């Protein structure tokens, strides 16, 4: 039960992780005229989970979870994740979210957080969000599958929240869209191999539509979100 309630606490969008300023490509897609109401938003969420989260964040969280408080190993995973992330806005957003998430945990006294935060502030490692999540959630006592669930849920919850704030969908419709992704999240986690079978060589994210939208978004004169 403690594992469950701790996971709920960490997956709660009210937890201060810096993600409020990021749409993860939703605003850029809207600018390009992508249909993001109802089924259109569900399709984008599914694409993100299947072609970006599964090959990038999922692996990073698992590897960082296995590394625990081994700072040398965490830095290695972090640098490889950074190199595998194509979009500069996605890289900067992930770093900012990672530091914000870590700062919150350092302030509440989570084990591992202060040392990892110093490592990032001294620029020994970028501090991407999935790597920070894996290490910190292990320190919180969450099991690996719960950590993966919190990571995936955080991605789609952030994107649906952005769609609401951009008036692309209503709050109730956004919850329907979010609910439709839950079986996919469960399937991706249940089908994941053990962390021991993964390596940084497995990082792979292919979401051209999202990447292009995010890159174009960087040149927008007026925007609500950073990416």
- Would you list the domain boundaries of the chain? 19-217
Tell me which residue of 196, 225, 198, 209 sits closest to 87, measured CA to CA.
209
Structure token digits, residue 81: 């994740």
> Residues 184, 46: contact at Cβ < 8 Å?
yes
Lowest pLDDT segment from 65-74, 118-127, 158-167: 158-167
What's the Cα-to-Cα distance from 14 to each of 156, 202, 215, 224, rounded to whole Å?
A: 15, 32, 28, 19
Tell me which residue of 98, 91, 148 sits closest to 121, measured CA to CA.
98
Whether the model pTM is above 0.85: yes
For residue 141, pLDDT over 90 is answered with yes
Q: What is the mean pLDDT of the chain?
A: 89
* Cβ neighbours of residue 69 closer than 8 Å, sequence gap 6 or more: 111, 112, 115, 135, 139
For residue 100, pLDDT over 70 is answered with yes
For residue 226, what pLDDT band results from cuts at 50, 70 and 90? Answer: low
| Average pLDDT score over residue span 169-182 | 95
Lowest pLDDT segment from 41-50, 74-83, 188-197: 188-197
DSSP states along 46-71? HHHIIIIIIIIIHHHHHHHHHHTT-H
Better-scored residue on pLDDT, 10 or 209: 10
CA 45-49-53 angle, 5° bins? 135
What's the Cα-to-Cα distance from 26 to each of 12, 17, 164, 213, rounded to whole Å?
A: 20, 19, 10, 8
Lowest pLDDT segment from 53-62, 70-79, 92-101, 137-146: 92-101
> Residues 169, 37: contact at Cβ < 8 Å?
yes
Domain 19-217 has CATH 1.10.8.60: no
For the chain, the first-to-last Cα distance in angstroms comes to 36
What's the Cα-to-Cα distance from 95 to each of 39, 125, 217, rounded to whole Å?
A: 31, 10, 18
């Amino acid at each position: 039960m403690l594992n469950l309630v701790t996971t709920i606490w960490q997956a709660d969008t009210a937890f201060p992780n810096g993600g409020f300023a990021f749409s993860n490509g939703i605003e850029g897609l809207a600018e390009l005229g992508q249909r993001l109401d109802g089924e259109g938003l569900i399709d984008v969420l599914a694409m993100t989970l299947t072609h970006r989260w599964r090959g990038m964040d999922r692996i990073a969280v698992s590897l960082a979870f296995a590394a625990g408080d081994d700072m040398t190993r965490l830095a290695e995973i972090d640098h490889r994740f950074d190199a595998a992330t194509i979009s500069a806005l996605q890289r900067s957003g992930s770093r900012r979210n990672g530091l914000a998430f870590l700062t919150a945990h350092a302030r509440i006294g989570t084990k591992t957080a202060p040392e990892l935060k110093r490592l990032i502030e001294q620029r020994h490692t970028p501090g991407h969000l999935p790597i920070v999540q894996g290490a910190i959630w292990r320190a919180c006592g969450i099991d690996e599958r719960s950590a993966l669930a919190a990571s995936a849920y955080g991605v789609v919850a952030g994107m649906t929240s952005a769609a609401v704030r951009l008036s692309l969908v209503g709050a109730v419709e956004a919850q329907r869209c979010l609910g439709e992704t839950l079986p996919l999240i469960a399937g991706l986690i249940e089908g994941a191999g053990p962390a021991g079978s993964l390596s940084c060589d497995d990082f792979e994210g292919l979401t051209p539509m999202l990447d292009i939208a995010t890159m174009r978004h960087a040149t927008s004169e007026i925007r609500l979100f950073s990416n």
